[in-house]
């Protein structure tokens, strides 16, 4: 009867322990009072540390936000110059055909130049004239062509028209070039500033909202460069990333968490997934360059390659987040399903996965946001190219938002400084949107059990 004896012994031991608890405590002693005081002090200290940490973080955020917005907001506006354009039939459509093909081929640039010459007739020197033509952007002639194609009755008329200005003129108007500095130290000479003053006094210079910035691709001319090409490139890249990394990541997480036997092999896999999350992203870029471009010969600079590369980078994030979400589903739900005769796959698809979905989605969106902001691996696979066209698909050459920021930050023109900050604002806007969506999903699908 050793079992019985051991049980009786346990009971006896329990009694002894409970007996020792009866030492009286003097709750009013100075020692206890000191202890309480110390505890309060520690709590106050901790609160101060916490608050100052938050204050520092907020301050950093504020400084960052201020510097970006104060530099970048002006990029959303663009200087326009009003000129009297004579839509000369001899220049646009000499034979009077009215054929859009003929009108499209016409040299609208010369109309702009003529208008400028008419506005400042005393400029005759060739070099000075070249400076004069720089007041208006090279893109203005495309605007004029669009106008005439839309409304052919303009031919033969003379109209006052707002034309997009060149970047230096724009900088001057926005105050980034000061007339007070020495002539040799600024990009515009005294004569050009004189033209600006003349136009301003006519009321022929104004800032308008810069829609081009949101609809154009990249350009060598800052006033014509836009963010849309990069935004579309980012979109295609992220679509490819999502399509690859989400299913693979979630399936891997489900398998590892619900089905894989716990042995040395799965432990190694687990450790390596965690390690992959810490690998510098440029390494994934090198891998993408070697495998996708050199071995598989996929198109260079294409979102599909960028997506494939970023998918590698996002996978560990999604797997880790999904595993945590799956682990958080209470085992009682699994037991309930298994106890009813649901197969393991049914248990996962009917119960575990729906309950883990908010966590999985949150992790996925955070991974996607990370991918959206990633630059280094994309530099390796050629997405850093100068691409003017807005990409039409995942196989077209493209660039992405952060790379566009990098490219603009590297450009010498003064006007690209504000474009860089504006592009950062657009990128941050997308990131805030995505994170906000993650928070929304988490709140919406949060369940209590």
Residues in contact with another protein by CB under 8 A are 1, 3-4, 7-8, 11, 261-262, 330, 332-343, 346, 350-351, 355, 447-449
| Nearest residue to 310 via CA among 396, 210, 360, 239 | 239
Nearer to another protein, 21 or 340 (CB): 340
Shortest Cβ 44–another protein spacing (Å): 41
Contact 250, 314 (CB under 8 A): no
On the 0-12 / 13-18 / 19+ scale of CB atoms within 10 A, 152 is: middle
Nearer to another protein, 2 or 181 (CB): 2
Placement of tokens 């916490």 in the chain:
50
Nearer to another protein, 14 or 432 (CB): 14
Nearer to another protein, 247 or 344 (CB): 344
Helices (H) and strands (E) in the chain, counts: 20, 3
Shortest Cβ 267–another protein spacing (Å): 13
| Nearest residue to 242 via CA among 364, 379, 402 | 364
Distance CA 148, CA 317 (A): 53
Distance CA 164, CA 166 (A): 7
Shortest Cβ 215–another protein spacing (Å): 46
Nearer to another protein, 11 or 31 (CB): 11
Neighbouring C-beta atoms of residue 22, cutoff 10 Å? 6
Shortest Cβ 337–another protein spacing (Å): 8
Nearer to another protein, 9 or 389 (CB): 9
Cβ neighbours of residue 60 under 8 Å, at least 6 residues apart? none
Shortest Cβ 349–another protein spacing (Å): 11
Going 300 to 304 to 306 to 308, the CA torsion angle's sign is: negative
Shortest Cβ 323–another protein spacing (Å): 17
Going 361 to 366 to 372 to 378, the CA torsion angle's sign is: negative
Tokens of 302: 């294409």
Phi and psi based region of residue 314 (left: phi greater than 0; alpha: psi -120 to 50; beta: remaining): alpha
Contact 185, 196 (CB under 8 A): no
As beta bridge partners, residue 162 has 82
Shortest Cβ 424–another protein spacing (Å): 42
Nearer to another protein, 123 or 333 (CB): 333
Shortest Cβ 270–another protein spacing (Å): 15
Shortest Cβ 318–another protein spacing (Å): 24
Going 52 to 54 to 59 to 60, the CA torsion angle's sign is: positive
Nearer to another protein, 168 or 258 (CB): 258
In terms of residues, how long is the chain? 449
Shortest Cβ 336–another protein spacing (Å): 4
Shortest Cβ 261–another protein spacing (Å): 7
Nearer to another protein, 6 or 189 (CB): 6
Nearer to another protein, 6 or 107 (CB): 6
CA-based end-to-end distance of the chain = 45
Tokens of 281: 């992203």
Tokens of 370: 């990370």
Classify each residue of 376-392 as buried b or exposed e, where b means 16 or more C-beta atoms within 10 Å of its C-beta: bbbbbbbbbeebeebbe
Shortest Cβ 256–another protein spacing (Å): 14
Nearer to another protein, 11 or 22 (CB): 11
CA distances from 79 to 68, 98, 164, 242, 270 (A): 21, 32, 6, 40, 57
Contact 91, 85 (CB under 8 A): no
As beta bridge partners, residue 136 has 165
Contact 135, 81 (CB under 8 A): yes
Nearer to another protein, 203 or 339 (CB): 339
């Amino acid at each position: 009867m050793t079992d019985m004896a051991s049980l009786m012994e346990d009971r006896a031991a329990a009694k002894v322990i409970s007996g020792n608890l009866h030492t009286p405590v003097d709750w009013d002693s100075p020692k206890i009072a000191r202890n309480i005081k110390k505890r309060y002090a520690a709590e106050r200290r901790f609160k101060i540390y916490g608050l100052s940490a938050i204050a520092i973080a907020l301050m950093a955020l504020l400084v960052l936000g201020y510097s970006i917005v104060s530099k970048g907001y002006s990029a959303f506006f663009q200087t326009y110059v009003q000129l009297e354009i004579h839509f000369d039939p001899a220049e646009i459509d000499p034979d009077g055909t009215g054929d859009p093909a003929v009108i499209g081929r016409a040299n609208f640039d010369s109309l702009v130049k003529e208008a400028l010459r008419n506005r400042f007739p005393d400029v005759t020197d060739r070099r000075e004239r070249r400076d004069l033509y720089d007041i208006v952007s090279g893109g203005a002639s495309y605007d004029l062509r669009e106008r005439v194609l839309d409304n052919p009755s303009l031919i033969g008329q003379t109209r006052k028209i707002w034309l997009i200005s060149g970047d230096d003129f724009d900088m001057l108007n926005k105050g980034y070039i000061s007339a007070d500095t020495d002539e040799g130290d600024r990009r515009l000479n005294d004569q050009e500033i004189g033209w600006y003053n003349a136009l301003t006094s006519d009321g022929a210079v104004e800032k308008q909202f810069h829609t081009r910035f949101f609809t154009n691709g990249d350009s060598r001319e800052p006033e014509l460069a836009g963010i849309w090409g990069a935004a579309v490139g980012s979109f295609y890249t992220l679509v490819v990333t999502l399509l690859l990394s989400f299913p693979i990541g979630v399936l891997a997480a489900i398998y590892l968490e619900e089905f894989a036997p716990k042995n040395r092999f799965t432990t190694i896999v687990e450790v390596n997934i965690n390690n992959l999350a810490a690998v510098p992203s440029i390494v994934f870029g090198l891998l993408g360059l070697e495998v996708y471009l050199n071995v598989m010969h996929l198109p260079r600079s294409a979102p599909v390659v960028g997506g494939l590369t970023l998918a590698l980078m996002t996978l560990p994030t999604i797997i880790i987040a999904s595993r945590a979400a799956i682990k958080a589903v209470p085992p009682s739900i699994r037991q309930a399903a298994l106890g009813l005769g649901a197969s393991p796959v049914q248990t996962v698809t009917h119960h575990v996965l729906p309950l883990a979905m908010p966590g999985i989605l949150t992790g996925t969106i955070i991974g996607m946001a990370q991918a959206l902001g990633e630059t280094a691996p994309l530099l390796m696979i050629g997405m850093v190219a100068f691409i003017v066209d807005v990409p039409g698909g995942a196989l077209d050459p493209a660039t992405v938002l952060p790379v566009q920021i990098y490219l603009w930050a590297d450009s010498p023109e003064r006007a690209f400084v504000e474009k860089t900050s504006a592009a950062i604002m657009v990128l941050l806007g997308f990131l805030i949107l995505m994170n906000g969506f993650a928070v929304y999903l988490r709140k919406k699908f949060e369940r209590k059990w």
